Amino acid sequence: MKENIALNKNEDAFKQLCYKLSHKLEQVKLGGGEKKIAKQYEKGKLTARERINFLKDDEADFLEIGAFAGEGMYKEYGGCPSGGVVVGITKVSGRQCIVVANDATVKAGAWFPITAKKNLRAQEIAIENNLPIIYLVDSAGVFLPMQDEIFPDKEHFGRIFRNNAVMSSKGILQIAAIMGSCVAGGAYLPIMSDESLIVEGTGSVFLAGSYLVKSAIGESIDNETLGGATTHTEISGVVDYKCENDEACLEQIKRLMDKVGDNEKAGFNRTESKSPKTPTEEIFRHFPIDRAKPYDTIQIIDSLVDANSFDAYKEGYGQSLICGYARIDGWAIGIVANQRKIIKSKKGEMQMGGVIYSDSADKAARFIMNCNQKKIPLVFFQDVSGFMVGSRAEHGGIIKDGAKMVNAMSNSVVPKFTIVTGNSYGAGNYAMCGKAYDPRLIVAWPTAQMAVMSGASAAKTLLQIKVSALKAKGKELSDEEQKEMLDEIKARYDEQLSPYYAASRLWVDAIINPLETRKVISAGIEMANHAKIEAAFNVGNIQT
């Protein structure tokens, strides 16, 4: 009875987190707000999200990337919801592709540093997965007050155009629609794409607008004559198609996409999809909101994979990591997941859940090699506190075995996907394919926490440092003052643990309801299947 009450409470708390997620997403979708949306309509323009909805196939999902980019950032400038650009994976005329749409309701679509980072992430996904990319351009260009943080560096604004050229050389289709302002350096993006369209009356593209032309060379000219639809489709020949309005432009893109030829597939194995053995909703009951509580990860896996498809690899060895083959929506996958229940090892020792031990790291390295040998995509489920520490672990070679796992994972040539379900701490984040290790997609549940260590551990460590520093100056803190300082440090650190903090900085591509996990993984593998695996897996300096 008590256990059932606890499960019900956990379910309620988890669903509250999911409700908070859906509410925050609804707020984000308003972009710059209802007044700015009304101004878009006054100009005869659709919003960025309306353009995408019109463009995508009727039944196609839209897997949004970076919805929370910029969350809580740039407060001194009024914020930058979604980084001022909407990005996602969907289908247009039956072809899976990336869509990038500037949101002109956010600072006229100006580029903040996070905008550039998000656009680069979109191009990275297109390049890695050989996906067509469609740009719906409506931007005032670089946000000048922050130009020093967006203009000159390797991962800044200019990298966008370098990637345009690289994608063109790789045969990755790029279609750009100029649906609003497109000025200065930003003018290169649509023109470096394979085909370009422009909307009459609202679209314009030029290296310098009329005001700058007047001040630079003394010429008086209006923007439409300088770089409008008629100018660039009938005089300069810069743009390929002139469209009457947003809807006509989007219809033309659909017709262009309808005639695109198919590409050679990677050939990942897929059979008929089956529902999980345990309803996915059971995750809300069995995945504890309290991040310190143990649980059996197998229960979570059973709620996600196709029924009766999971085959454990080395089940009795290295039990703090679960490795095994399974299917999700029919796609064959290799799973590497942290086991969060407390385990009794074969030597009779108790192993903490969520900690990676030497034998587990060794097992994972070998399993990753097998998945590469068999051309099976890898899915990492992260709920990890880190690697085991202490004299016994060090004498047993934990560094060597951890390096072996990181090496195998880093050199993997099959696509990797990462789901951060809970804790993602320290080197555990790295070994379990964190953002630095090029997962094709990395998403988080609302229960995720990402940092060097847990909030409690970090707060105590930082407190000890501060107390020691004050003591060296001859100042002693009372117990009450220490508690107050501890609470203050922990509150600040806990804010940084939040999945929204990670999502705002694009450390994860999205925060998702656990019920969407199967759909995200399936869409990701379908996406990755467009890119043939060229390189062979190389074990590098892995010591077996």
* Separation between Cα atoms, residue 231 and residue 331, nearest integer Å: 49
- CA 139 from chain center: how many Å? 23
- Give the model's pLDDT for residue 187: 78
Dihedral sign, Cα of residue 52, residue 55, residue 58, residue 64: negative
What beta strand segments (E) does 339-377 contain?
A: 343-344, 350-351, 355-356
Grouped pLDDT means (10 residues each) for the chain, 544 residues? 86 97 96 95 96 96 97 94 97 97 94 95 97 95 84 85 94 96 80 94 84 81 85 92 97 97 93 97 96 93 98 95 98 97 70 85 96 97 88 80 93 97 92 96 96 68 74 77 76 84 97 98 97 79 52
- Give the model's pLDDT for residue 95: 96
* Separation between Cα atoms, residue 483 and residue 464, nearest integer Å: 12
- Give the model's pLDDT for residue 115: 95
What are the φ and ψ backbone dihedral angles of 286, each rounded to 5 degrees? -100, -10
At 272 the three-state DSSP class reads coil
Closest CA to 447 of 380, 514, 495: 514
Residues 203, 206, 212, 217, Cα dihedral to 10°: -140
- Give the model's pLDDT for residue 163: 94
CA atoms in the 13 A half-sphere facing the CB of 331: 27
DSSP 438-495: --SEEEE-TT-EEESS-HHHHHHHHHHHHHHHHHHTT----HHHHHHHHHHHHHHHHH
Q: Are strands 85-92 and 95-102 parallel, antiparallel or unpaired?
A: antiparallel
Residue type, 245: N
DSSP 249-264: HHHHHHHHHHTPPP--
Measured from the Cβ of residue 532, the count of other Cβ atoms closer than 10 Å reads 11
Give the per-residue SS3 of 512-534.
Answer: CCHHHHHHHHHHHHHHHCCCCCC
